Amino acid sequence: MVMKINCKTLVFISLFINPVSAAFAAEIPDTQQLFKQKCSLCHAIDKKKLGPAVTAMTSDTQSLRQAISKGKNAMPAFEDKLTKVEINGLVDYLLTKQQTLK
């Protein structure tokens, strides 16, 4: 009897819990890959390219979010190209890189 309860529990978990976990995981962007795809043409982590290095950028969350969303100087706006989750992920990625390289 114990074995049947365990099997039923495992089936329940695999059918109902895993899809929920996968849905949450799908919402979390791979920010390193996103940075490579959308930002690295103009920005490097520790040196100036067309735009400033990540280490030279502001560490103000709102300013970074604004620059990514609305654009700044020659940088285009990404609010129509990226989701809010992706923009917030990029801001977190930039801040993390700044912290680890100081």
Half-sphere exposure of 49 (CA within 13 A, CB side): 11
What is the model's pLDDT at position 101?
Answer: 82
Q: Is the pLDDT of residue 12 over 90?
A: no
The CATH number corresponding to 29-100 among 2.60.120.200, 3.30.450.20, 3.40.640.10, 1.10.760.10 equals: 1.10.760.10
Q: How confident is the model at residue 6 (pLDDT cuts 50, 70, 90)?
A: low
What is the model's pLDDT at position 46?
Answer: 93
d(CA 75, CA 51): 8
Q: What is the CB neighbour count within 10 angstroms for residue 94?
A: 25
What is the model's pLDDT at position 29?
Answer: 82
Domain boundaries, given as residue ranges, for the chain: 29-100
